[in-house]
Structures are given as C-alpha cells and as structure tokens.
C-alpha cells in the first residue's frame, strides 16, 4: 500500500470518528432538554397514569362495575325494571349482582304455558343483555305460586 493511500485511509478514519463523536454529543445534549410534563403531580411528577392502584385502568373503562362510578347497582336495577316493564306476563323481578354477573329471577304469571315462559325468558335475556353489556346476564323464569 502506498503512502498516499495510507494517508487517505487514516483521514477517512478520523473523519468517521469525528462524525460519531459529534452525533453522540448532540444526542446527549438533546436529552437534557426540557419536557412538557406536569411536574406537580403526586406520582413523581409525570402524568403517565392516575394513582388508582390499577395503573390508570379504572379511568380508561368507566362503565366496568369493578370501581366507584356514577352508575350503581341501584340505578342499574331501576333500568332493568324499566326494560322489563313493557313485557306482559311478568309478576315479579328479583336481581342478584355478583361483580360483572347479573342474575335475573322472573316470577311469571301462572297462566302462561311452558313455551310462553321459555319465549319470555329468552326475550328478557336478550333485552337485558343488549341494554347492559357490562354484565354477563342470566335469566331464570318460573311460575308464580
């Protein structure tokens, strides 16, 4: 290898090393810039998520029954009764909540046939499930005594 090509190779190496150093320095200096995060928050100064114990999950799904919310079992019960009110043949409705499961016990008119009771139960099941998607709805229908 001639002396001239050896000097070219060394200059190219120094130029590449200088470019890497400049890039690394600009990257390091850029990381020291200011951020737009609100530092007055209680969770260490960043608005990453609320301190709810669930990494902010409860705010992202406000209709789930596993948290304090504006909807309550009382208001949900009122709504279920409103949904079932227009249906003929229901004498009494009893609701049982267990987390995200809703058991609906219907006492139906004793004059209804077995086929009518099955249809009434399936209609009630579909209406409640459609209107209350956050619950797993189970409907049981039996004749009044």
- Three-state DSSP string of 9-54: HHHHHHHHHHHHHHHHHHHHHHCCCCCCCCCCCCCCCCCCCCCCCC
In a domain, 57, yes or no: no
In a domain, 134, yes or no: yes
Provide the residue range defining the domain that includes 109.
68-143
In a domain, 103, yes or no: yes
pLDDT at 120: 95
Does residue 22 carry a pLDDT above 70? Answer: yes
In a domain, 12, yes or no: no
Question: Tokens 């948290």 identify what position?
Answer: 67
In a domain, 82, yes or no: yes
In a domain, 92, yes or no: yes
In a domain, 59, yes or no: no
pLDDT tens digits, residue range 42-71? 545 555 555 555 565 555 555 555 544 456
**What's the CA gap between 43 and 90, in Å, rounded?**
52
Which CATH number goes with the domain that contains 84? 3.30.70.1350
- Number of domains into which the chain is organized: 1
For residue 49, the SS3 value is: coil
pLDDT tens digits, residue range 88-141? 999 999 999 998 899 999 999 999 999 999 999 999 999 999 998 889 999 999
In a domain, 3, yes or no: no
């Amino acid at each position: 290898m001639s002396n001239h090509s050896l000097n070219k190779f060394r200059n190219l190496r120094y130029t590449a090393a200088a470019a890497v150093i400049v890039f690394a320095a600009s990257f390091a200096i850029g990381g020291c810039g200011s951020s737009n995060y609100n530092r007055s928050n209680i969770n260490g100064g960043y608005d990453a998520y609320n301190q709810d114990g669930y990494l902010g999950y409860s705010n992202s799904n406000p209709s789930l029954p596993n948290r304090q919310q504006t909807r309550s079992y009382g208001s949900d019960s009122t709504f279920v009764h409103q949904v079932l009110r227009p249906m003929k043949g229901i004498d009494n409705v009893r609701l049982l909540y267990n987390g995200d499961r809703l058991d609906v016990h219907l006492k139906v008119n004793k004059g209804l046939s077995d086929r009518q009771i099955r249809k009434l139960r399936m209609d009630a099941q579909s209406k409640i499930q459609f209107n209350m998607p956050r619950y797993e709805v189970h409907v049981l229908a039996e004749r009044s005594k």
